[in-house]
């Protein structure tokens, strides 16, 4: 078969369509040379800058809006996290202070109980000595009266401390509402 009678294959047909002929290239080359020789009117800068500036502003506004919408849930979560953290820290600080005051009151109460026990021991010793000596009217003696008064004072102070401990335990932390930034 000769080249003239043979049918072109599909690939060859596409190659002919895709590859321009030499003649077409020359025609385009002449047109481009002619186009180069003709003066080209440049658009004024006012007309091209205005649409470009408006377009840039629109893109900036759109991206800002997108960013704010995108980060809005993140801001809310962050604000909630810090709010919870702040409240937790405040509560922990309050509870630590409350615990410190209760412990101090209990230390004072334990000291008073030791003094009460020591006063009971002193009173018992005085009564025992008076009984052995056969002295009557033990409760009218000045040293016994002063010991009983001291015991009453210790017991009153102990009752006050126990009441203060109960009051401290019943305290609730204050809710602080910081001013909202709007």
User: Does position 164 have pLDDT exceeding 80, yes or no?
Assistant: yes
Would you say 8 and 16 are in contact if contact means Cβ atoms under 8 Å apart?
yes
How far out from the chain centre does Cα 3 lie? 83
Counted residue by residue, the chain has a size of 182
> For the segment 144-154, what is each residue's pLDDT rounded down to a tens digit?
899 999 999 99
Helix 142-170 to helix 45-133 angle (10° resolution) is: 160
pTM of the model: 0.51
> For the segment 34-73, what is each residue's pLDDT rounded down to a tens digit?
555 555 555 554 444 566 677 777 776 666 665 555 566 7
User: Does position 181 have pLDDT exceeding 50, yes or no?
Assistant: no
More confident residue, 42 or 175: 175
Tokens of 162: 């126990």
Domain locations along the chain: 90-174
DSSP code at position 139: G
C-alpha to C-alpha distance for 178 and 86, rounded to whole angstroms:
11
Q: Looking up tokens 């002919």, which residue turns up?
A: 16
């Amino acid at each position: 078969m000769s080249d003239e009678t043979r049918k072109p294959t599909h690939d060859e047909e596409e190659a002919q369509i895709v590859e321009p002929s030499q003649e077409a290239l020359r025609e385009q080359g002449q047109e481009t040379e002619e186009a180069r020789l003709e003066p080209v009117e440049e658009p004024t800068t006012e007309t091209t800058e205005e649409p470009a500036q408006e377009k840039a502003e629109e893109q900036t506004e759109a991206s800002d809006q997108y960013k704010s919408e995108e980060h809005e849930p993140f801001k809310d979560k962050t604000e909630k996290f810090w709010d919870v953290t702040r409240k937790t820290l405040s509560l922990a600080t309050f509870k630590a202070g409350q615990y410190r005051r209760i412990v101090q009151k209990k230390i004072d109460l334990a000291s008073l109980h030791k003094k009460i026990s020591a006063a009971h021991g002193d009173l018992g010793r005085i009564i025992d000595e008076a009984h052995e000596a056969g002295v009557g009217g033990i409760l009218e003696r000045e040293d016994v009266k002063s010991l009983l008064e001291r015991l009453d004072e210790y017991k009153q102070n102990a009752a006050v401390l126990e009441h203060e401990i109960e009051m401290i335990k019943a305290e609730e932390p204050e809710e602080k509402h910081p001013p909202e930034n709007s």
